[in-house]
Structures are given as structure tokens and as C-alpha cells.
Structure 1
């Protein structure tokens, strides 16, 4: 964390000074962005937009207050990477339960009425991330995003007690979307006896984001619907405090028995665990009657599945019954018939629904919200053309389809009846083979306005274009600290330009790196000059870092060209923290070797949401401007 560049502070440095006019306490008549729903997709989008002081964003929810008990709990490693960008990964890791392995149980071949452990697998056997797979209540994640919003330059916070009723997109004026809302609480914030009779009002917005769940009213208002497989299998889920003789109660388990199946998820705190209990096929014409299965029946089935082990339930903190269905919205936005940029967007469960057992709902929803949040911020701040907003649907619909295909396989395996002769290792082998997908690392955006083609991929083979930027250890030149390069990517809306130097020693006149830097610093046609507003700070839009092939002892940070040492903040202080050396052997491998980076040098361009947008040759500095001319607007 860097601070003091606006002057000395002795209070919490995460709380940034207010930029722009104070936020109105009451919901205003007009705003740039209205987000409906304070779930994971809505909150991460609001948190990202809170870092754009020039953008007026409001997020509403019909509930009278913050979520207290969240249904989602699985946090994949890609999400923890995301939390690092939002500044709370360490806090979540300390609080959460870390999943390091998964065990598989099946009927004992000698005594099929009993279950036995048949496989033990590592959760991240391939080491796809330095971050862990976590279990923590969704409500805590939302709390952290709310804190990030409150600490940002806009001092933003959710507006509770407002229900979405409907909208009309006139496609005219600066605030083309008229939204009707209904108040669900009284003046003291207490729920109204009959919220459906609360007073209504209209507000106008430039853009609306519907993150209001599977029964999304925003989705219905723009004429889209969910479609897909009908639910055909039911599961009871309960967060349980119990004593048991089952030996793996604090380990994630997939359990198959002659009585059905359980997915066991240990929860944070050391005592709580979640059981997804197989309730069987949903009968034809059931009309959701199975959702009324009593808690006592769910417990009874769990006890039968765990035989010969005892389960003595002391308390159930929360439980529900759901039917597995795989459904996708007919559209992610309301783009015009001739491809005009949309004004209304859908995210999270409003777009895709599936089972909860793969731990994907909250994780994919957050990536939806981050993808859209930074793009709205760039368009409204005048950094990008409105055309950029079309890429949201283009990118995220593919991810949603892949998610549903994966979950269909996983949920079918979990619900599969056990029969004699079945392979007891089938589920474990599928889990290991597909581990990278649920961890969140298989997403790869296709070539587009935002994503370059593979022409220069060979310059940095370890950074696949369109996939997330994978961190590696480097040594900061100014202070000798060994740090993860990717962990320095804050969710501040800026692009990252990672410049991997050629082999010449730092400061060598005429080197490829020196020529690249001179172009960026001095040429009026350079990308940094063209796309950074004249009245903005040198690093307001781009965070430019250099990684040398030499080790730290061989040079000083001030040997790097000025473009890597921008003047920051109100005092114009020189930032020495963007100059790096390869890590010393005792601390880790050389990043050039580890990530397949050419010794001739390379430029890795990373979007504000951590996905690699382009790989460019170091000896063509003008290539950066050529690429960015698509997703960005000039400010010369």
C-alpha cells in the first residue's frame, strides 16, 4: 500500500479523502449508474465504480439492511486474487476456512450399507494460484466490498429499503433510463407491514445494472427470460453444528452411499459445516412440493447416508431445499436492434442459474460485476467509447455457457445413484481433471476490441492473451522487498503496463528499453500522452512498471527511465516503487524463465480487471498506442 503522496496522514490510510461533491444522503432524482441488488455482482460493480469520483453511482436493495446470512460460501482462488485487488484478501484468508484437499467416500465393497474413504485429492494439485480456496459466509464478503466503497473517494454506500418496480429506456438525453422504485421501509428504516403498498417514485439514470437475482425484475423489464433444463433433482442444504463420529467432518467430501449422496463443506470457525443432502428425483407434477421437505427429514437422510457413522445435530443455523436447474438468460443487456450500445445490463444470477455444489455462483457473479464495473467507469469518465459496453455481453455470455456445461456434468455425477460395478473413482477423477475451471482460471476472452490476437504470444508464453495475469515473485529495486507482481494490481480502474526489459544493463543508452521509455515520455503521439488527460496525474490512467533481467544489487531504482518513476499526488512526489529486478534464487525462480518471457523484452498489457489484453514487442513502442486506440479515447 502506498500513501502520504497527498501529504502526511496519521489515520487509516485506506480511507481516501472525498473527491468531488458530497454524496447526497437521499436517493437523488438523477444518477450515472443505478445498480439494483446488493449481492456479489452488484457490490463488486459498485465498489469498482466508487473509485471513479466523476461517476455518480447508487446501489439499492429491497432489504432494510445488510445481508446477515448468505447462502453462498465457496470462494475460489480467482476470487481471492480479486479480493487482493480490493484490499481485503489477507483479512478474508485469516477469517475463512481454507480447503486444501477433498476426500471421496463410496459404499464398502464388502459391506455396501457402509461407506468407506476411496480417494484423497489435493484441492490445487497443479498449483494454479498462490491463493487458497476458501469457505466463508457471503455476508462477510459483501461487508468488505461495502467497506471498500465507504473508504473510496466517493464515500459510497448502499441505499437499503428500495424495491425495483420497472423501467423505460427512452434512449434519449443524458439520463435515458427512467426507473420506478418503491419504498419498503419507513422513515426510521423499519420494514413496512405491507411493502407492496409502499410509496413509489421515479429516478433517471444513464445506465442500470440488474443484479437482482434469479427472479430478476430488471431482466423482465427489458424483455429477457431464463431458459434451459427444468429442475429434476432436489437437495436439502443445512449449515450444521453437530457431534459426529464421521472422521472427515473437517474436510470437504463427496459422499456416495446406497442411501443417496452428500456434499460436505466445512465452514469457517472450526465447528460449523454445510451438508448438501440428496433428496432424490423430483416427481413429475411435483409443483415444488419437495421444497417443503421438513428439516427433520433432511437430517434423517443425512444420518442414513453417513452410516455406519453417527450424526448428532445440535443446531441448524440455516437450511433450505432447492431443485437443480441449469438456465441462461436470453440476453445480458438491452442493446439496440442495430447494435447500439445498451443502457441496461444484467449480471450474476439474473443471467445464469445452476447448482450450488460446484461453488461457482458467487465467484462467477463477482467477475460479471467487475467486468462491467470498470467498463462503465471508463465510459462515463470519458476514457473509453460507449462501444466498449458491448464487450460485456460478448465476454460474459461465453463464460456463463461454459459454467452451465461444467455444472451439468458435476451435479449429475454428485446425484448419480450407486450401482454395483460402478467406478468408485469416477467423481474424484473428474474433480482433479477439471480443477482449473472451478478455481476460476479457465476463462479466456477471445480477440476483440479489448483483446489482441496471438501474433506476439511467443514473447510471453506464460501470460496467455485473454486469461488472467498470473502473478510471480520479483524484487523491488528501491527497498529490496520480494513481492508478488500481480498483488500490486489495485482495483482502481487503471490499466497495467508491465514492461519486461531487454538484457542490457539498466541505464544503458540506446537499449531497447530506453528507446521504448523515451517514446512514451517524450513523443506527443505516445500512448501515455494520447490517452491520459492533460490535467490528470502522470499515472492516473496507466500504472507502468519495469522488470529488469538483472538482480537488485546490480542497479538502483533511479537508473530506470523517468516514465517508470512518475510524479504522484498533490505534492508531485517521485514514485520509486514501479522498478523491479528478478527475484534472488533463494526467493524464487526468475520471472523471465517462469513465465516464458523473451530475453529480447516484451510488453504485457493488462486490463483493469486483471486479464491480459495484449502482448507487444518492446522494439515497437508505437504498438501500445495502436492497440489502445480501440478501447480508449484520446485526450490530446
Structure 2
């Protein structure tokens, strides 16, 4: 964490100085805003947190609840989400309070005594950190929202939710400065029942599976229920089941299945208990299944073990359904590219599925981050409005892949044990597909912010369109071993990583020529698009990684100036952009970086946009001319 560059900081450095719309922020929701977020769930809160870094934008978030969420339904936190939390500054704190999944146990009918269950296999969650250096966690959704709310409140725009306001509808009046008129009603408090209208330039609907925003823009939630029901309970209980503090998939011979998820705190756990197929004429009667019935069903499945519930924190019954919205913004497909989207939807408003793969909250957060930085760039004048069209294109494909994966996983979970040809089929599927539920299979297609793969061979470990997978390096200024990607915070900046050729800083090289071009050429994106009157690195965070180990690289005058920019009102040198290899884990080897060097461009939400040779400055310039083709204010 870097601070003091604007003067000495004696308090919590996570609390930034208020700026722009955060100065004297009005308590009452204004009549006109730049962005109105409807719904304070995971997608809405991460969007608010990201937009809170854009102090020149007025963002408000409304939620119909009277206050913060206390009991969340979601709890699975995949490694990609923890990586995201790192960018928002709270990965370490939330990890400390969470339950960490290190393995999953699979239980099946005992071949000798089928009426009993027995442990059939234990699969490690991520052996040797092959997928990610970040863990797989379980923590209440409410705590995730708390951390994002803290970030948003402490960021320059000082965003806080406006609770007790429910969405009624909206109208779009193209051509007006604030074209979206949103009707709201006070759902609680002294003004309960009163209605009002807020006008916005853009609206983001994060208001859940029964989204009013989705309905208001005429989008359709397409799909169907799987006709299978599950009872879900968060309980404190006594039991002789030996794996009660291990994530388990439990299949019985005749009583159905259980997915067991230990919760944070050492005592609480969640059980998804199989209630069986739902008849066509059920008329939602399955939803009336009592907690006592579900507990009895769990005991039937767990035989010969027993479960005695002492307290239930939360209980519900749900039917598995797989639905995806036809498009994630208000522009009809036949009009795409002809007018600017003004209303977007994210999270459960776009995609619904079973909870057993632990994907809902995780994918929703990536939805919110994706659209938030794009709105920030467009409203700041950094990028053209056409950037907003990439949101639906990118996230719709991700949601469809999620639906496909979850349909297969939930079907396997509900499949009777006797129908498996191989008793380890469920465990094998879990291991084989581990990268998908961890959140690392997203791969965005070529677009105005994602380049082609012509030069992918220069950095095979950074696939274009996929998230930037960090690796250990040594920071030159202080000799500290760090993870290269962990320095990339959610500040809305592009990252450009220059992997040097084999020359030292005092030798002429392709890197030296590239750095000089980036600093001085009128075609350089730094020269063309850095907003006037701001720091050299205000839009582009540019780092260099030398091939030599720490000790052979000095932070001296031969380091190009682009890698040691002056920042803040005192124009202090930023020393944390120059790296050497970690001798124990050479990043060039680990990520397949060509020894002649390479440039890796990473967008603000950590996905790789381009890989280029150091000599390909014209291609780099053309790429940013498409992505940033309006002069920044």
C-alpha cells in the first residue's frame, strides 16, 4: 500500500481524502445523478465500490432493505473473488475470518452395507496452488457486502447506500442530459409510501432474480426449472458424522444426496438436502417443506450417523432453475451499435441457477466490476460510449457457460447413487473441472479492448482475454519478494507490464527504446490520453520486469523515467514500478515470457487485453486509439 504522497498520513491509510462528488456529499438522494445503481447485493456493491474511485462522477446506490444485509444466502467465495478482494484491499482480512476449503470428501453407499454411507474419496481443492495463490473460502455474503461498503465509503466519492427505497419503474428519454427517469418509493422510515423520481445518465439494475429493472427494459429471463428441490439450512448441531467440518458430497443408496458446506466460525455449517423430484402438479407445495422434515431427510441420508439440530440460523426450500436473460442492456439486438445503452442489468437479474456450485455471488461480482470501470471511463471522458456495448457481449457468454456448467454439476448431485457406472464419477468431475468453479475460465473475445492473438507466443502464460495470473518477482527498490499482480488495485487504471529483453538498464535495448517512445512520442497512449494536469501514471500504471535477479539491477539513473514517475503535489518518485526476477521462481519461465521481451496490457478489471513485442509500438498505439478514442478531460 502506498500513501503519504499527498502529505503525511497519521490515520488509517485506507480512508482516502474526499474529492469531487464526495465533498459535502448530500444525505438526501439528489434529483439527478450520473449513475444510479438499483440493488445493494454483490453486483451492486462492487460496482459502487469501483465507481467510488471516480470522484468526478455522482453515483448513488438504492436498496429496498431498511439497512445492511444481516443474513446472506450466498457463502461460497472462489479464488478469483479473493483475487478481486485483493484489488479492493480486504482479501487478507476476510480470509482471516472465513472458513478455508482445502479438500472435499465424497461419500457413497457402502458396497457391503448399502444402507450405510462410507467415505469413497478425498480430493484436494487446489494441490500446490496450481490454479491460484488465493484460497477457496466460505463466508457470509453479508460480510462481503460490508467490506465493499467500507471501501466505497472510504474512497474519494464517499458512496453509501440509500436504504429503504424500492424500484417502481423507469422511462428512457433519449437526447436528454439525464435520459433515464427512475421511479422510486420509500419502503420504510418516516417517508414510507412516498414516491419520487430520480434522473440518471445510466442505470445499473442489480435487483435480483425478480428484477424490476430487467422487466422495465423488456429483457426476458429465458430457461426453465429442473423439477428438483433442495432444503437448505444453516445450523448449529451435534453429530457423530466425522467430516462435519469438511466440504462433502454425500450420496445415499435410497435417501438422496447432501452437499455439506462448513461455515466460518468453527461451528455453523450449511446442508443442501435433496428433497427429490417435484411433480408437475405440485403447485409449489414443495416450498412448504418444514425444517423438521428436512432434518429427518438429512438423517436418513447420513445413516448410520445422526444429526441433532440445536439452532437454525436460516432455512429455505428452492427448486433448481437455470435461466439467463437474452441481453444485459436496454438496446435491442437489432439496434446494437446504433445507440448507446443507458440501462444495464447484472447478477441474478441476468442469470439464475443452482447454489451448489457456489457461483452466483462470484459471477455477479465480476458482472458489477466489468460494467463499473467502463461507466467510470466513459463518464470521465477517457473512453467512448461504444465501450459500454462490450459489457453485454462479454458477460452474456460468461453467464451461458455458467448455466451449462451448473446444469451438469447439479444433475450429477441429484443423480441416484445406483445410476453411476463409476462410484467416483462425481469426484472425478469435481477435480477435472476445478478451474471453472474457481473463476478462471472466463476468456473474453476480441473487441475494442481485447486484441488478437498474433503475438500470444511471446507470453503464453498470459492468455489474451483471460485474467492476469500473477507470479512472484523481486521489487528492486527494497529487495522485497512480492506478487506482481497484487500491486494492481481497483483504481480504474490500465496496467502495462514491460518484460525486458536481456540487456541491463545501462545498455541500449528494445526496452529502452520502448520506454523512450512511451514517455515522449506524440503517438504514445501516455502522451495522448493521460488527462491534463494529472500524474504521469494517472491512467496507465506501467511496470518493468527485468530478466536479471535482484542485486544485478540498481534503481539508478539508467532506469527509464517512465518506470519512476513523479506523483502527487510534491512530485515524489514512485519506486514500486521496477522489478527483477525472483531467483526461486523466474516469472519469465513461469509465464512463458519470450527472452526478447514482451508487453502485456491489462485492463482495469485484471483481464489481459493484449500481448505485443517491445518493437510493436504502432500496434500498441492503434490498440489504445480504439479503446480510448476520445480526449480525456
Normalised by the size of structure 1, how large is the TM-score? Answer: 0.97
Equivalent residue runs for 1:442-457 within 5 Å: 442-457=441-456
Where does residue 608 of structure 2 map in the other structure? 612
Report whether the alignment pairs 1:516 with 2:503.
no
State the shift of 1:22 in Å. Answer: 2.4
Report whether the alignment pairs 1:462 with 2:461.
yes
Report whether the alignment pairs 1:555 with 2:553.
yes
Report whether the alignment pairs 1:216 with 2:216.
no
- Per mean C-alpha deviation after superposition, the further-off stretch among 561-570 and 20-29 is 20-29
State the shift of 1:286 in Å. Answer: 1.2
Equivalent residue runs for 1:93-132 within 5 Å: 93-125=95-127, 127-132=130-135
State the shift of 1:221 in Å. Answer: 0.3
Contact 1:507 1:514 in 2 (8 A): no
Where does residue 241 of structure 1 map in the other structure? 236
Q: What secondary structure does 1:238 align onto?
A: strand
The one-character-per-residue Cα deviations of 1:260-316 (angstroms, maximum 9, x if unpaired) are 100000000111110000000011121211111011000000011000001111111
Contact 1:68 1:139 in 2 (8 A): yes
Contact 1:169 1:178 in 2 (8 A): yes
State the shift of 1:634 in Å. Answer: 4.4
- 2:518 and 2:226 map into 1 onto residues whose CA distance is 56
State the shift of 1:53 in Å. Answer: 0.5
Where does residue 524 of structure 2 map in the other structure? 526
- 1:243 and 1:507 map into 2 onto residues whose CA distance is 68
Equivalent residue runs for 1:30-179 within 5 Å: 30-125=32-127, 127-179=130-182
Equivalent residue runs for 1:98-497 within 5 Å: 98-125=100-127, 127-187=130-190, 192=192, 198-257=193-252, 258-335=254-331, 337-339=334-336, 340-419=339-418, 422-497=421-496
Contact 2:225 2:319 in 1 (8 A): no
Where does residue 10 of structure 1 map in the other structure? 10
The one-character-per-residue Cα deviations of 1:512-552 (angstroms, maximum 9, x if unpaired) are 11100111111122111011112221111010000000112
Contact 2:490 2:605 in 1 (8 A): yes
Structure 2 spans left out of the alignment, 5+ residues: none
- 1:420 and 1:161 map into 2 onto residues whose CA distance is 49
The one-character-per-residue Cα deviations of 1:411-442 (angstroms, maximum 9, x if unpaired) are 00000112277421010011011110000000
State the shift of 1:584 in Å. Answer: 2.6
Relative distance call for 1:396 and 1:231 in structure 2 (3 A) is same
Contact 2:384 2:630 in 1 (8 A): no
Contact 1:501 1:513 in 2 (8 A): yes
- Per mean C-alpha deviation after superposition, the further-off stretch among 434-443 and 549-558 is 549-558
State the shift of 1:338 in Å. Answer: 2.7
Equivalent of residue 543 in structure 2, options 535, 545, 550: 545
- 1:489 and 1:274 map into 2 onto residues whose CA distance is 34
Normalised by the size of structure 2, how large is the TM-score? Answer: 0.97
Q: What secondary structure does 1:54 align onto?
A: coil
State the shift of 1:622 in Å. Answer: 3.0
Q: What secondary structure does 2:294 align onto?
A: helix
Contact 2:63 2:165 in 1 (8 A): yes
Aligned residues: 624
Contact 1:532 1:634 in 2 (8 A): no
- 1:621 and 1:553 map into 2 onto residues whose CA distance is 30
Structure 1 spans left out of the alignment, 5+ residues: 193-197
Where does residue 195 of structure 1 map in the other structure? none
Relative distance call for 1:612 and 1:421 in structure 2 (3 A) is closer
The one-character-per-residue Cα deviations of 1:126-180 (angstroms, maximum 9, x if unpaired) are 7110000000000000000000001100111110011000000111211100010
- 1:458 and 1:626 map into 2 onto residues whose CA distance is 20
- 2:144 and 2:169 map into 1 onto residues whose CA distance is 29
Contact 1:478 1:576 in 2 (8 A): yes
Contact 1:382 1:633 in 2 (8 A): no
